[in-house]
Amino acid sequence: MKNQPKPVNAHFNLGKDFFDIATQAQFPDHILRFRNNRSAQIIGLDNLSDEEWIDYFGKFNRYPGVVHAPLALKYHGHQFGHYNSDLGDGRGFLLAQFLDKNKVLWDLGTKGSGQTNFSRGGDGRLTLKGAVRELLATEFLSALGVPTSQTLSIIETGENLERNDEPSPTRSAALVRRSNSHIRIGTFQRLAYFNENENIEKLLRHVTKNYFFSKKHNASSCSLAEDFFLESVKRIASSMGRIIVSGFVHGVLNTDNFNITGEVFDYGPWRFIEYASPSFTAAYFDHNGRYSFGNQPEAALWALTQLGKSLKEFTSEERIIEILNEFSKNFHLSLKRHFCWRLGIEDINSSDLNKIMHILLNESEKNKIDYGSFFYDFYGGSDSIIDCLKNSYGSKYKVKQFLLVTDILKSNTSFNGSSEKKHMLDQNRENLLINEVEKIWEQISLHDNWNVLEDKIQRLRALGNILESKKVIYF
C-alpha cells in the first residue's frame, strides 16, 4: 500500500515568535540534477513527476495541505565560541513538514532558496558544488550508520555566483534536505537571550511531543526541561560516537549547527579523514583546531553546556551539571557499539577499545594505516586479521606499535554472517576523501558529466546495504 503524504503545520502553529515569513527567489532556470526517491518514499512523495518535483522543490510552490508560506527560522548561536545574536535562516527556510507512517515528523528545509530577513548582506544562494558536496556527505554518513539529514533534491538554478572559496563565477543550485527537525541549540539560546521563558516552555512541549515521542509533554516545566535536556544530551553524544567511528569531521560545530534531535546537518567544509589524526581540521579558517577531528566530542559537550544555560530558569544548575555528566557515558557507549558494528564483531572490552583508539590516533598517520581501510581489512575479527597479516599488503599492520591492536581483535567474536559480508565489502571498499570529491566535481564542472556522481551514490548505497545501516539508523 502506497504511503500517502501527510503534510502538517506543526512549526507554523508555534507562532510568529519562532520564524519570519520568507519569499522564495525567482530563478532563471530549473534543471533537476538529483531526486532522492529513497527519502521521498518515507513521506509519500516518491511518485511525483519531475515537473511536480521542480514545482515544489525548485520553485517552492506550496504543497497541498501546507497552510503557510516558507518560514525562515529564528535562532542565535555561538560561532567559534563567540555569541552571535544576528543569525537565523539567511539562505534557507522551512518549506513543509510531513508525518510518515510511523508518526515521525520530518522537515523539508531548503538551502540556497533566496534572501531572507537574516541574510546579513549575503545573496541567499548556494553553489552547485556546495550542493553536490552535501549530497555526498549525507549519502556516505547514512551508509556508515550515522544519523544525518538526507539530501532530498538538488536543482540547478542557472545563476553565476561569486565566491571567495572556489573558482568564480560558479554555478548555483537550490537544495532541499529532509531532516528530523531544524530546531537548533541556538533556537533555545535566542529565546533565553530575550528572556522569552513562555516561548521556551512552548518549544519544550513541542519538541517533546513531536520529536521525542514523550507522553510527558504536559508535565511541569521543570520536569519537561530536564527530560528534554537529558534526551538531547544522549542523542548528541550518540551521534558524536558514530561520527568518530566513521572518521568524519563536520568542520563547523557552532551551536547553531547542532540539531537538538542529534541528527547531523548543515554541512560546509566537511572531510573524511585519511589517517586518524586528532588534530585534522576540515575548515581552512579553523586556525586553532577548535573543531578538529579529535575535538568534536568536546565541542559537542560545550554546545550542550550552552543549551543547559538556556534552561537555567527551568531547573537548577546542579541538575544541569548532572545531566551534562551523562554525555561522557553515552558517548563512549556509542563509540563502543558503533566500533563493533563497523568492524563486524560482537563486543569489545572498553579498556581494550580505549587502547585501540589511542594507538589509531597516535600511530596510523606515521605508519600510513588508512582509517577506512582498517575497518575493511579487519572486518569480522580473527579470520580476517590472520588472512590480512599473511600477505604483503598487511605488513603495515606488523609494526611494533600496532601489534597490540591485532592481538586484541583476534580474540573478539565476529557477527553471524560476517564472513559473507567481508567478501562483499572487499568488492565495495568505499571511502570519500577530498581528492575523490574534487574529481567528481571536476567532471561536473568541466564536462557536465553527472555519471561519476551517480555511480558513487549507487556504490555508497550498496555499501550501506551490505552493512545493513538501516538497522542502526532510521532514514
Domain ranges of the chain: 7-182+441-471, 186-336
- The span from the CA of 304 to the CA of 188, in Å, is 11
Q: What is the DSSP code (8-state) at residue 259?
A: B
Neighbours of 386 (CB within 10 A): 12
For residue 198, what are the contacts with CB-CB under 8 A and spacing of at least 6? Answer: none
Query: pLDDT, tens digit, for every residue of 334-347?
Result: 999 999 999 999 99
Residue 250's nearest CA partner among 286, 288, 302 is 286
pLDDT value of position 279: 96
Calculate ∠ Cα 228-233-238, nearest 5°. 130
Distance of alpha carbon 282 from alpha carbon 248, whole angstroms: 9
Tell me the three state secondary structure of residue 154.
strand
Average pLDDT in the 160-167 region?
89
Which positions are annotated as active-site residues?
Answer: 256
In the structure, how many helices (H) and strands (E) does the chain have? Answer: 16, 13
Q: Find the Cα–Cα–Cα–Cα dihedral 234, 238, 243, 244, rounded to 10°.
A: 100
Distance CA 317, CA 314 (A): 10
Q: Which of 207, 265, 214, 221 is nearest to 239 (CA)?
A: 265
Please compute the mean of the pLDDT values over residues 186-215 and round it to a whole number.
Answer: 94
Structural contact between residues 306 and 185, judged by C-beta atoms closer than 8 angstroms: yes
Cell numbers for 468, please give them: 545493513
Closest CA to 24 of 133, 100, 103, 109: 109
Q: Whole-angstrom distance between the N-terminal and C-terminal Cα of the chain?
A: 19
Give residue-wise pLDDT tens across range 236-284: 999 999 999 999 999 999 999 999 999 999 999 999 999 999 999 999 9
Q: Which of 356, 460, 359, 362 is nearest to 411 (CA)?
A: 356
The values of phi and psi at residue 176, to 5°, are -120, 130
User: Which among 267, 109, 100, 124 has a CA at the least distance from the CA of 176?
Assistant: 109
State the Cα–Cα distance between residues 460 and 455, nearest whole angstrom: 9
Q: Please give the pLDDT value at position 324.
A: 98
Q: What is the pLDDT of residues 364-411, one digit of tens each?
A: 999 999 999 999 999 999 999 999 999 899 999 999 889 999 999 998
The candidate with the shortest Cα–Cα distance to 190, out of 318, 77, 44, is 77
What's the average model confidence in pLDDT over 344-367? 94
What is the rounded radius of gyration, in angstroms, for the C-alpha atoms of the chain? 22
Task: Work out whether strand 31-35 and strand 71-73 pair parallel, antiparallel, or are unpaired.
Answer: unpaired
In the predicted structure, residue 215 carries a pLDDT above the cut 70: no
H-only helix segments in 168-316: 185-193, 197-210, 221-246, 296-310
pLDDT at 402: 92
Say whether the peptide bond before residue 269 is cis (omega within 30 degrees of 0).
no
Rounded Cα gap, residues 98 and 381, in angstroms: 42
213: which 3 cell numbers? 515521542
Quick one: which H or E segment has residue 221?
helix 221-246
217 pLDDT above the threshold of 70: no
